[in-house]
Structure 1
């Protein structure tokens, strides 16, 4: 069989990328629940095997695992609801504090520009009216989004049950795609994927817990209002690489501004978040997750942005596990090895422009990089 020219191979790869992106964009409502269920199923495998070793039937074992996940999610929702309820109960004070901040902001704008207070108020009223005029169309979109969320949540336990129940069929399907001589590599890739994804997801659960306790506890001791809410929101948003931490900082500042007219609590919140995040990134998370696939920062951020564009919030959260799985596959496939190099952070010790050995598809000496994902 005649081998295809290199340019044709690369063209097919790029065309495949475009087709995958198009499928994800058009079928996000179907694909994202399946992918989410796949990753949750991997995380539940040790628990499922534990119950099966105790002679509990497979179906009952799967149901127990799903119920435990539902209880955990219910506790998280209850905690968030209680914290948001406390925030709502402080609404009169929040309204007063926001008014004070707006007055200070208005005075500052007047001091650096020619806009008077009355002109600023007229501008805000005009924009508010424009916003209200578009509320009707947005409400329809919100209803569709809410319906999609309910469909997502409703399908998730069904997918998890079926994936765990039919896991052997799925594994056989994967092996049948490859020649028997390649089965040892496929087996190694499956084991490594399972190990890395379980380690990554369990690490994220542990990270959410200690980030909430550390951040919320320290802020609570320092007398910051809504400390636990700030802690849990930042911990959840921190699951989104790089971008989530920035959004978490902004929300923390906004919540602090609404509860106080002084800027000192804002500085305190930013300082505590910076300290806890440094501790998390450099000491706690590397030790908890351990050895895992290394993804460079450029493609971690690109993955979050592209995932959000193609599949919304779920795409942002799942971007890192998906990239990790792809890198495992690429590193073990000669045809796509260059894509594994592109996603990783194993930098050559010398420039490929100067040494031809660093341009080849084989292991080369690398510099240590920042581990993420």
Structure 2
């Protein structure tokens, strides 16, 4: 009887902890999302800051330079996209003509299949447009608020990033002081693993995106798709979101191939997208990312779904490395070892990947 009561009380405590965690994550998302992004970026840039400090730049100077490097990277991406997007304006007459042809073909197909005359189709579309126009002001206000929130969130990320890089040594000492003396070495090892996993995950994701951008650009250029560089960048950006991002990114080049290209470009574009994803998933990601997160695929998908429910798109990006941090913490706490075992990846790394990594390390 006491054992049953103890088990029931433990179960209730665990459930209460999960409920409180979900409540805090959901209602505190305005504060937690910028902080989480800054923490992951700080782990990525920590080796850069350490190298700069060894060059006698100082903690403040190293932190400022890391923020400047991040701004230069983001600004460079925006500049390239802006320059390429300006070229599309020259093709607007061709795109409009192509859209009119597609619209006429769609109207003809609807009339043949459902017997709806083009005039009735146009009337229906006009009614829907008028309904959308009535709520345009509301959507515009929401969009402006979202844009303002995005700008303020980005500024907060930069501020948090600066202070996290500047005070990373003090933050590390704080966590070490929380642990008993006999366990400080293990806590230090846990902090090292967390820093390494989070930083390497983001760097591996960026390398994978760079590979996809190059393959997309080369492939689209070979098949003659216009604005290949712009479409490649737009198609790659959503791949920050695991699993879902590849399908979202594929929408843009396929749409452009349908609108501005010839009808024979659709299949080659699909071929380039599929070939790049197959190579990336089976060769590039195992090499640059491998089993760094060491997460079960099932719980990875669960993390993405829960992240979207709680934080939206930022949650889909952040909850996977966050779950990896939880796994590392569970692995270093004896009472939580079963949870670490449950979250671990049960799929072994391919031997050819291990051998290739050994060759890379030798060279």
TM-score, normalised with respect to structure 2: 0.89
Which residue does 1:252 correspond to in 2? 253
Whether the 8 Å CA contact 2:304–2:315 is kept in 1: the answer is yes
Q: Distance in 2 between matches of 1:136 and 1:341?
A: 51
Cα deviations by residue, 1:335-360 (Å, 9 ceiling, x for unpaired): 333433443331xxxxxxxxxxxxxx
Residues matched between the structures, number: 349
Cα distance 1:85–1:313, how it changes in 2: closer, same or farther (>3 A)? farther
Q: Give, in whole Å, the separation in 2 of the partners of 1:63 and 1:172.
A: 22
8 Å CA contact 1:109–1:115 kept in 2: the answer is yes
Residue of structure 2 equivalent to 1:296? 296
**CA distance, structure 2, for counterparts of residue 338 and residue 105 of structure 1:** 57
Q: What does 1:199-218 align with in structure 2 at a 5 Å threshold?
A: 199-218=200-219
Structure 1 equivalent of residue 357 of structure 2? none
Provide closer, same or farther for how the CA distance between residues 267 and 51 of structure 1 changes in structure 2, counting only shifts above 3 A.
same
Question: Does the CA-based 8 Å contact 1:307-1:316 persist in structure 2?
Answer: yes
Report 1:92-171 matches (<5 A): 92-171=93-172
Gapped regions of structure 1 (runs ≥ 5): 347-366
More helix by share: 2
1:1-373 matched pairs, under 5 angstroms: 5-260=6-261, 262-346=262-346, 368=348
For residues 130 and 281 of structure 2, the distance between their equivalents in structure 1, rounded to whole angstroms, comes to: 44
* Contact 1:331-1:340 at 8 Å conserved across structures: yes
Gaps in structure 2 of 5+ consecutive residues: 354-363
CA distance in 1, matches of 2:298, 2:120: 43
Cα RMSD between the aligned structures?
2.2
Please say if residues 32 and 311 of structure 1, whose CA atoms lie closer than 8 Å, have aligned partners that are also in contact. Answer: yes
| Separation in 2, partners of 1:264, 1:302 | 39
Q: Is the 8 A contact 2:291 2:349 kept in 1?
A: no
How far apart, CA to CA, are the structure 2 residues paired with 1:83 and 1:215? Answer: 15
Runs of 4 or more, structure 1, over 6 Å off, are none
CA distance in 1, matches of 2:7, 2:103: 62
**1:355 — aligned with what?**
none
How far apart, in 2, do the equivalents of 1:234 and 1:276 lie?
Answer: 12
SS at match of 1:153: helix
Are the equivalent residues in 2 in contact too, given 1:204–1:239 (CA < 8 A)?
A: yes
Tell me, yes or no, if the aligned pair for 1:226 and 1:255 is still in contact at 8 Å: no
Rounded to whole Å, the distance in 1 between the matches of 2:146 and 2:14 is 33
Give 1:308 deviation, angstroms: 2.3
* Aligned counterparts of 1:309 and 1:240: Cα–Cα separation in 2: 14
CA–CA separation in structure 2 for the residues paired with 1:189 and 1:111: 66
Secondary structure of the equivalent of 2:233? helix
Superposition deviation, residue 164 in structure 1: 1.4
TM-score (norm 1): 0.87
Shift of 1:291: 4.0
